[in-house]
Structure 1
Amino acid sequence: MKRIGKFGLMVVSLLPILLVACSSTKLISSWKADDVSDQKFDKVLVIGLMGNKDRNLRENVEKIIVQQLQAKGINSGSAFAEYGPKTFEGLDESSALKKLKNKGYDGAITIALLDKSKEKRYNPGMVGVYPRTYRFWGHYRTLYTRIYEPGYYTVTNKFMLEANVYDLNADKLIYSAQTRSVDPASPQSLASEFSEKIFEDMSLKGVIK
């Protein structure tokens, strides 16, 4: 039992590290306008819609998506880099669109942080199926370890992001998608995973080449 106990302790001690290291981003829904195929833009503005607390995520999302667009030969720019954190503050619709078109933008991609949550969970120290024993000491030590071994807490961070692609000349939405991410390693990692899922789906749906 001692050997099994030590192995169990090692696995339990590693679990928080493994849970933190594990990250996944999944596409949960997407939509494309029926009359859109291989949309061609002269210049696209990428706009992150996130609060001040998520400024680092916004900068990374805009930067990485701009890089992806430029790699596909699409001229693009970051709203944060070009206009600052409050891109259109104080402007009405007409003024905002004029501001974009004066810079040559005929497309826009908004990235919104729809939801961010943190879940804290307590995990008991020793959980498992133990063989029944009729010996006093074996029974005592088995249950003592199970009951008194200290537990630990794990925290799960969840993010839900949405990407909308707009044709500014036609003033219409041509593509929309939502993703859910669990425990990204960093804002940059989340931005990269999100961008990968979105561009993969846009290519499959024929929104862009």
Structure 2
Amino acid sequence: MQIKRWYQVLRRMLMVLTAPFLLYCCASSSLTATWHDQSYAGNNLLRDVLVIAVTEEETSRRLYEDGFVTKLSESGVRGIPSYSLQNSDIEPTKQAVQTAVTMSDARYVLITRHLSTDEKQHYSPPEPIYVDPYYSKMHRYYPLAYREVRYRPGYTYTVTTVSIESNLYDAKTEKLIWSAQSKSVDPNMSQSFFDGLVDVFTKDLKEKKLL
């Protein structure tokens, strides 16, 4: 019986100590702004989409482009990751983009880039540690009332917010069709992060009836 009580005490203490950690580990990506050309909406028009992630991190580029191509294929849309092209290093010029469009035989172009990274430090002050089993019974709590209150130490932590922008263009007219911005809290740049980011963008494309 005593072991069971101590187990309950330890479990509650762990919940208090790990709550901030769990809060940020479970954070996900979300949209902060979105726009679309309504003249394109309602046609589920996407097909042959060239997916370009503008980043110097090759691993991140491939994870994002592959993730978006996979998501497009689930809706029956052919996607082409830019890294798969013969000239995969697309220079920031009109001619280079046009060459990539021609090589991929793309009808639409999705360009995604990093907007900003914001880091803010926060301080979590000390908090008293309450042990519920002692509070539930008067004869347990009364002796405890004479003891010094125990506190969880205060600590500082950094919250990193990453903003991403994604734009969809008509390759023939070069017209902007759809644009969205997202924010992600403490992303770990893993496969799961990029999959979640792609889910956010493709969900909005579907809601706008573009996909």
TM-score, reference length from structure 1: 0.76
- The aligned counterpart of 2:119 is 118
The Cα of 1:19 is off from its aligned counterpart by: 2.6
In structure 1, runs of 5+ residues without a counterpart are 130-134
- The aligned counterpart of 1:196 is 199
The Cα of 1:186 is off from its aligned counterpart by: 4.3
Give distance in 2, aligned partners of 1:94 and 1:186. Answer: 31
| Residue of structure 1 aligned with 2:54, choices 34, 37, 49 | 49
Moved over 6 A (4+): 3-8
Give distance in 2, aligned partners of 1:39 and 1:8. Answer: 51
Give distance in 1, aligned partners of 2:49 and 2:204. Answer: 18
1:117-143: CA deviation from partner (whole Å, max 9, x where unpaired): 2333232332589xxxxx9x957712x
Give distance in 2, aligned partners of 1:126 and 1:76. Answer: 52
Residues 167 and 39 (structure 1), Cα distance of their counterparts in 2 relative to 1, 3 Å cut: farther
TM-score, reference length from structure 2: 0.75
Query: What is the aligned residue count?
Result: 196
Give distance in 1, aligned partners of 2:85 and 2:34. Answer: 29
What is the letter of the counterpart of residue 125 of structure 1? P
Percentage identity across aligned positions?
21
- The aligned counterpart of 1:34 is 38
Instruction: Find the residue that maps to 2:64 and give its secondary structure.
Output: helix
1:14 corresponds to 2:15: no
Contact 1:56 1:187 in 2 (8 A): no
Contact 2:115 2:163 in 1 (8 A): yes
Give distance in 2, aligned partners of 1:204 and 1:20. Answer: 28
What is the letter of the counterpart of residue 124 of structure 1? P
The Cα of 1:25 is off from its aligned counterpart by: 1.8
Q: Root-mean-square deviation (CA), in Å?
A: 3.3
Residues 39 and 172 (structure 1), Cα distance of their counterparts in 2 relative to 1, 3 Å cut: farther
| Residue of structure 2 aligned with 1:63, choices 66, 78, 103 | 66
